[in-house]
């Protein structure tokens, strides 16, 4: 299907205005197809002109324009020409649509726990035409009046409040103007809990089999929801405008969540089944605050075109962490931002696909999908933190509020945002915007013992970015000094730097967007000193400097492992514990450590996990994180088999099915989990999560027949859902000797692109990333992928996924060459 170009969208928006959308959905026609009838009232400012409607149906029954019939055969490549337009127009389309299994459009999923069917709409980014006929672009917003015919016993949720008018027939209240990609309906035997806050009806909903988890977690989620509403109302003085506020946890969701006005959808693994650490609750709370921020940034005011998606995502990211740190119990949420979100963004900056925060090229809608990454989220939020410092908090809030008020229920773009901010600031922001928003690249900053601070700008993306930050020194864990710096030149002398401190930390408050190089004395002192630093944000900066140093080849993997084994068992912040361990087990060890040494280094990681586990208070978050890392790294078969059988389990993990699956997957990776064991555990956990975990465990087994089966299921079984593909891809590369895995590097470049024939772009991009042969760290893999990227038949998303993962592989090869 042709992807809408920016120029086509501009021309269509200049010609027509969509006044009202009426959509009737018949979701009671079986498991494959549903009925869709759409009536669109729109005006044309040049009568007699032509345009086109977006429609991707299985079959089209009838099309009428202003009472005249149009042949359904006129639809070509997802577009229906509309000619001879009047000043006021009514087009009606009756069509049959297909449910999806890839998380896009109207996704239908059967819960293996009880056989119940669930449907939800995810119309992002350009999937709306697979659900109803429309003018599918973000700047043609319109009110929606939706009706749904649903199977008996279903609950219906959507952007407007749903009312059952007769058995199986539902009407949703008409909405305020919405962009097409925000429209959703959720239908199935959902269970619900309700509340109310400040006049806003609240609901949280999930699959029936998750009722216990829903009721357990709902009080905390309602608390964060209410606190976030109060924070945003207080900050901007603009009330939430979209009526009810439902939050629906849905199965097999491609993203973390989606900000559909009045009906936010979340991936339902966030309803944690077993032990949930504070960091996991923070992640979910931050997602709740993030999606709510979109009610203003994205929903109330929508970007005019996808090259300004930062006006949605950067703001939601920034506002969410601001809200959780200021209005909830998670006052330390910026710690998690630094070690999780910023590391994601720094990796995106080092990739060949790096792009500016704002104005990133998006010639068509599909190309924009590629830029929903750590730059649009984490870098954008960090840049906004710098803008607050540059303008002052009062002026920043005033400018943002003015922008929202002047564009509410409409669309905006970078120039209009900057104009509002300049009015509030009282001076131009053009140079600042060009340096921070409109130029790609991340600077590297360093501080020496003589107080000289340096800023190195990437040669490919020169920019004069002024950094507002602080630097600090620590001795015996205590802060010895801290001073603020404006780094607006390549070299700046910093007064008050104490030469004799143990650890010298540039950007100690993690206030700016820059990778950090530590001085040699600090790096040497980390094994004895990092965990003693009392400030968790500064510890996060140090951990992050070690990780980015490994990835940039400025820190050797041996040094990094020494720091991990010495400091990680004593790390006191569970976000730092879990994220640092994940970075080491998922990337540092399997990619950067030479193959001959991986087994011994794995043993050191497991030893550190055992030390942390034994030293933690039983049942504490530290103990749970350590137990999970130990379960995923140990080769102690007796311990693993005892845990699978429920013996000697750590406190807080008794009956925890997800922890049990971690253990099973480790046994599988070690070649110690036969079909009988996996089937026995799966029989005890008949949920969707259990089914997916069993797939991943089977794919992780190292035997050649196991790999052949897993790869066949991944690349040939067209009945596999998006989540099943992800589970197979993740499990496949987690176990097995490199010699047995090597042939699949070639299979990857030949087989994965062909999934585009039946897997949607959003889902396929995930699979292409997860299935990448990252374990085969060899020049031959680089050549294979480079040749594949040059092929013309690749989708843009697969090409980008391959390129970004290739850049990580090349980072590992450079490191191995330097630190061999």
Residues catalogued as catalytic: 291
Instruction: Name residue 121's beta-bridge partners.
Output: 106
> Under DSSP, is residue 618 helix (H, G, I), strand (E, B) or coil?
coil
Specify burial of residue 331 (Cβ count, 10 A radius: 0-12, 13-18, 19+).
exposed
- Give the Å distances, CA to CA, from 745 to 407, 543, 598, 759, 779: 50, 32, 20, 21, 11
Are 183 and 260 contacting, i.e. CB atoms less than 8 angstroms apart?
A: yes
Neighbours of 440 (CB within 10 A): 18
Question: What HEC string does 201-263 produce?
Answer: EEEEEECHHHHHHHHHHHHHHHHHHHHHHHHHHHHHCCCCCCCCEEEEEECCCCCCEECCCCE
Q: Buried b vs exposed e over 258-290: b needs ≥16 C-beta within 10 Å?
A: bbbbbbbbbbbbbbbbbbbbbbbbbbbbbbbbb
CA 383 to CA 314: how far, in whole Å? Answer: 9
Cα 47 to chain centroid, rounded: 44
How many Cα atoms within 13 Å fall on the side-chain side of residue 462? 3
How far is it, in rounded angstroms, from Cα 330 to Cα 320?
Answer: 11
Nearest by Cα to 507 from 417, 420, 597, 445? 445
**How do 155-158 and 185-188 pair as beta strands?**
antiparallel
Cis previous bond, 533, omega within 30: no
Give the count of beta carbons closer than 10 Å to the beta carbon of residue 500: 9
Distance CA 640, CA 653 (A): 14
Query: Cα-flanking dihedrals φ and ψ of residue 181, to 5°?
Result: -75, 0
User: What is the C-alpha to C-alpha distance for residues 621 and 481, in angstroms, rounded to an integer?
Assistant: 31
Per DSSP, what are the bridge partners of residue 156?
187
| Residue 15 structure tokens | 């010609």
Return the structure tokens found at 137: 């672009």
């Amino acid at each position: 299907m042709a992807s809408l170009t920016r120029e086509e969208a501009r021309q269509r928006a200049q010609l027509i205005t969509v006044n009202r959308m009426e959509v009737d959905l018949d979701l009671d026609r079986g498991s494959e197809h549903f009925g869709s009838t759409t009536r669109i009232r729109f005006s044309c400012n040049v009568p007699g002109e032509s345009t086109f409607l977006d429609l991707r149906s299985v079959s089209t029954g009838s099309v009428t324009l202003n009472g005249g019939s149009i042949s359904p055969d006129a639809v070509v490549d997802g577009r229906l020409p509309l000619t001879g337009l009047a000043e006021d127009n009514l087009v009606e389309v009756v069509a049959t649509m297909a449910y999806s299994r890839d998380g896009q459009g109207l996704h239908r999923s059967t819960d293996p726990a009880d056989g119940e069917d669930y449907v939800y709409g995810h119309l992002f980014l350009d999937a709306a035409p697979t659900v109803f006929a429309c003018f599918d672009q973000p700047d043609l917003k319109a009110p929606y009046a939706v009706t749904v015919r649903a199977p008996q016993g279903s609950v219906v949720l959507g952007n407007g409040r749903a009312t059952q008018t007769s058995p199986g027939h539902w009407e949703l209240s008409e909405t305020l103007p919405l962009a097409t990609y925000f429209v959703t309906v959720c239908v199935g035997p959902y269970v619900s809990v309700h509340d109310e806050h400040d006049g806003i009806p609240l609901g949280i909903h999930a699959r029936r089999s998750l009722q216990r988890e829903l009721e357990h977690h709902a009080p905390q989620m309602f608390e964060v929801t209410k606190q976030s509403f109060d924070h945003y109302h207080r900050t901007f003085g603009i009330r939430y405008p979209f009526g009810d506020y439902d939050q629906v946890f849905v199965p097999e969701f491609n993203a973390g969540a989606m900000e559909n006005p009045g009906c936010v959808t979340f991936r339902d693994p966030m309803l944690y089944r077993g032990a949930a650490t504070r960091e996991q609750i923070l992640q979910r709370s931050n997602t709740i605050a993030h999606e709510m921020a979109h009610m203003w940034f994205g929903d109330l005011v929508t970007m005019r075109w996808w090259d300004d998606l930062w006006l949605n995502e950067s703001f939601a990211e920034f506002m969410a962490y601001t809200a959780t740190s200021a209005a909830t119990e998670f006052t330390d949420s910026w710690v998690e931002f630094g070690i999780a979100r910023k590391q994601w963004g720094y990796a995106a900056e080092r990739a060949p696909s790096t792009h500016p925060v704002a104005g990133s090229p998006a010639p068509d809608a599909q190309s924009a999908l590629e830029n929903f990454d750590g730059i649009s989220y984490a870098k954008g939020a960090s840049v906004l933190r710098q803008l607050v410092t540059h303008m002052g908090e009062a002026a920043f809030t005033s400018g943002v509020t003015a922008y929202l008020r002047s564009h509410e229920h409409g669309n905006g773009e970078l120039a209009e945002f900057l104009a509002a901010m300049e009015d509030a600031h009282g001076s131009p922001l053009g140079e600042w915007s060009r340096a921070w928003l409109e130029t790609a690249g991340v600077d590297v900053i360093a501080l020496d013992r003589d107080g000289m601070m340096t800023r190195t700008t990437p040669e490919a993306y020169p920019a004069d970015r002024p950094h507002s930050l602080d630097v600090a020194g620590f001795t015996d864990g205590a802060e010895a000094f801290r001073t603020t710096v404006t780094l607006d030149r390549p070299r700046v002398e910093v007064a008050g730097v104490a030469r004799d401190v143990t650890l010298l930390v540039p950007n100690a408050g993690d206030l700016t967007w820059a990778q950090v190089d530590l001085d040699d004395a600090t790096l040497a002192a980390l094994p004895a000193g990092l965990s003693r630093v009392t400030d968790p944000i500064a510890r996060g900066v140090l951990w992050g400097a070690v990780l980015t140093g490994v990835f940039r080849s400025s820190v050797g993997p041996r040094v990094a492992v020494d720091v991990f084994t010495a400091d990680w068992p004593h790390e006191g912040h569970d976000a730092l514990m879990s994220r640092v361990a994940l970075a080491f087990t998922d990337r540092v060890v399997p990619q950067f450590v030479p193959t001959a040494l991986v087994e011994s280094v794995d043993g050191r990681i497991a030893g550190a996990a055992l030390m942390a586990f034994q030293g933690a208070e039983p049942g504490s978050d530290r103990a749970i994180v350590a137990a999970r890392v130990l379960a995923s790294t140990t080769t102690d078969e007796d311990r693993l088999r005892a845990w699978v059988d429920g013996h000697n389990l750590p406190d807080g993990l008794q009956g925890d099915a997800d922890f049990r699956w971690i253990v099973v997957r480790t046994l599988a990776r070690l070649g110690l989990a036969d079909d009988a064991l996996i089937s026995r555990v799966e029989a005890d956990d008949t949920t969707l999560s259990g089914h997916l975990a069993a797939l991943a465990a089977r794919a992780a087994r190292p035997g050649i027949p196991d790999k052949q089966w897993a790869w066949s299921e991944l690349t040939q079984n067209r009945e596999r859902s998006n989540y099943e593909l992800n589970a197979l891809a993740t499990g496949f590369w987690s176990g097995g000797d490199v010699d047995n895995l090597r042939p699949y590097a070639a299979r990857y470049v030949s087989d994965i692109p062909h999934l585009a024939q039946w897997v949607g772009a959003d889902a396929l991009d995930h699979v292409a990333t997860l299935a990448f042969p990252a374990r085969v760290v060899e020049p031959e893999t680089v050549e294979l992928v480079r040749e594949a990227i040059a092929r013309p038949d690749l989708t843009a998303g697969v090409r980008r996924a391959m390129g970004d993962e290739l850049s990580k592989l090349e980072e590992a090869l450079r490191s191995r060459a330097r630190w061999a």
